[in-house]
Amino acid sequence: MDPDAVLRYEAGLSDAMVRTMGFMLITYVPLQVAAVVMMKRLLWRIAAALPLIPMLPVIYVGFNLDTYRDGSLYGLAFYFPYAPAMVYLAAILGVGIFVTRGKRKAAADTTTETTGTTPRRNRALITVAALGVVAGIGLLLFVLMPARSNDGPSSPREALIRYAEVLHDGDESRLFAALQATEAQKDFMRANMQFLTAKNAFRDAFTTAYGQQAWDDFQDDSKGPKDGNAKITTTDSDEIVARWRNATIDERGHEALCKDSAGAEKAVRLIKVDGAWRVDASSVCPRTQQMRKMIEEIKPVTVLLRKYEKAIGREGIKPEDIDAELGRAIMKVLKGVETPAPHRFDIDRL
């Protein structure tokens, strides 16, 4: 995946957060403060502060960048608490201004004549007018500020290709930007991504140290050692991308279904979120119970792959020695089976 595209996407999320929260704070906060300050009686101040109850959670969520990644703060979900709060505060301010003007009219005029200071009545009006100007400027900036594109995939095929690339890159933030997933699905995809990158790193180190033929022998069960045999299936993003480029995609509005060119039984579902396509994780992840079981299996194997990678290329350790010891270690963590044969080397002493 193009790193510049990722940076532009993340910048787009930050821009969405700044625009949304800047608009809300510039328009809402001055009105909220003015309403509370203008009220002199405790009960009226409490009434003026009531919009804080729905607005504080909105503000908290609004400063979370993931909110804009999921698109959960846009549209009606955002304006349901915001619009009523603004109308309520405007009404409170209107009542406060009306009552204050009636009570202080004579006193304000006297103050002007004797001290030359600005009448309280006029000060209140000037304050409200200033707040209105600030809010208007904020609204104008919000409307005129050019929106940045999140540079998300513009087509289902592009989304599939990006997903395949980032799954093998090992970059968690990129992976989750390409998916629409629950927390459980994110946990599974995270474990799967780490497993894929660990397998590929082990293979690359092995072929660099011993050559391609040694890796082919490592993968060949008929040539595996009798005291242990590790079989590691690896894939590259290029292989997956080639399949997606020739896949059949059925696009219907904001949803698309894809079957890869290898004829996979289960179609991959894609959905359009905020103008960009994402892979629906439920179409590439197993059921919840199976996800948990697979995580329990692949996590320890991932650890073993990284652990035994450090044995590659060590003096006195042959490729078949690593095959045997890694195979024994995997059998032990997955099946609880310990081979009685003597160990070829001690990985913990390397």
Tell me the HSE value of 297 on the side-chain side, using a 13 A CA sphere.
9
Say how many domains are in the chain.
Answer: 2
* Three-state DSSP string of the chain: CCHHHHHHHHHHHHHHHHHHHHHHHHHHHHHHHHHHHHCCCHHHHHHHHCCHHHHHHHHHHHCCHHHHHHCCCCCHHHHHHHHHHHHHHHHHHHHHHHHHHHHHHHHHHHHHHHHCCCCHHHHHHHHHHHHHHHHHHHHHHHHHCCCCCCCCCCCHHHHHHHHHHHHHHCCHHHHHHCEECCHHHHHHHHHHHHHHHHHHHHHHHHHHHHCHHHHHHHHCHHHCCCCCCCCCCCCCHHHHHHHHHCCEEEEECCEEEEECCCCCCCCEEEEEECCEEEEEHHHCCCCHHHHHHHHHHHHHHHHHHHHHHCCCCCCCCCHHHHHHHHHHHHHHHHHCCCCCCCCCCCHHHC
Q: Over range 213-224, report the average pLDDT.
A: 93
Together in a domain, 76 and 180: no
Does residue 260 surpass a pLDDT of 80? Answer: no
The answer to whether position 151 is within a domain reads: no
Together in a domain, 160 and 267: yes
Together in a domain, 201 and 264: yes
Q: What is the pLDDT of residue 120?
A: 52
Whether the CB-CB separation of 350 and 315 falls below 8 Å is answered with no
Q: Over range 215-223, report the average pLDDT.
A: 93
Name 271's Cβ contacts closer than 8 Å, sequence gap at least 6. Answer: 180, 254, 255, 256, 277, 278, 280
For residue range 91-117, list pLDDT tens digits in order. Answer: 888 887 777 776 666 555 555 454 444
Together in a domain, 126 and 187: no
Q: What is the pLDDT of residue 71?
A: 52
Q: What is the pLDDT of residue 126?
A: 58
The answer to whether position 41 is within a domain reads: yes
The answer to whether position 149 is within a domain reads: no
Together in a domain, 186 and 231: yes
Together in a domain, 205 and 120: no
The last residue of one of the domains, among 144, 169, 194, is 144
Q: Can you say whether the dihedral through the CA atoms of 96, 102, 106, 112 is positive or negative?
A: positive
Range of the domain at 8: 3-144
Together in a domain, 170 and 200: yes
Q: Which residue has the higher pLDDT, 199 or 54?
A: 199
Distance between CA atoms of 28 and 86, rounded to whole angstroms?
A: 7
The answer to whether position 341 is within a domain reads: yes
Q: Over range 285-313, report the average pLDDT.
A: 95
For residue range 171-195, list pLDDT tens digits in order. Answer: 888 889 889 999 999 999 999 999 9
Whether the CB-CB separation of 124 and 38 falls below 8 Å is answered with yes
Distance between CA atoms of 210 and 319, rounded to whole angstroms?
A: 7
pTM confidence score:
0.59
Q: How far is CA 250 from CA 56, 93, 258, in A?
A: 43, 55, 6
The answer to whether position 150 is within a domain reads: no
The answer to whether position 298 is within a domain reads: yes
The last residue of one of the domains, among 91, 118, 144, is 144
- Out of 32-36, 63-67, 152-156, 271-275, least confident range: 63-67
Would you state the structure tokens that stand for residue 51, as one six-digit string?
Answer: 């919009």
Distance of CA 306 to the CA centre of its chain: 27
The answer to whether position 172 is within a domain reads: yes
Q: How confident is the model at residue 323 (pLDDT cuts 50, 70, 90)?
A: very high
Backbone angles phi, psi at 179, to 5 degrees: -120, 155
Q: How far is CA 216 from CA 211, 220, 222, 226, in A?
A: 9, 6, 11, 17
Distance between CA atoms of 201 and 307, rounded to whole angstroms?
A: 12
The last residue of one of the domains, among 113, 144, 175, is 144
Together in a domain, 334 and 237: yes
Q: Which of 30, 37, 33, 39 is nearest to 130 (CA)?
A: 30
Together in a domain, 37 and 87: yes
Together in a domain, 194 and 84: no
The residue written with tokens 């006193």 in the block is 107
Instruction: Report the alpha-carbon angle 240-281-203, nearest 5.
Output: 40
Together in a domain, 113 and 31: yes
Mean pLDDT across the chain: 81
Q: What percentage of the chain reaches a pLDDT higher than 90?
A: 37
Q: How confident is the model at residue 146 (pLDDT cuts 50, 70, 90)?
A: very low
For residue range 35-89, list pLDDT tens digits in order. Answer: 888 887 888 888 888 888 888 888 887 777 666 665 555 555 566 788 888 888 8
The residue written with tokens 């304050």 in the block is 127
Together in a domain, 203 and 321: yes
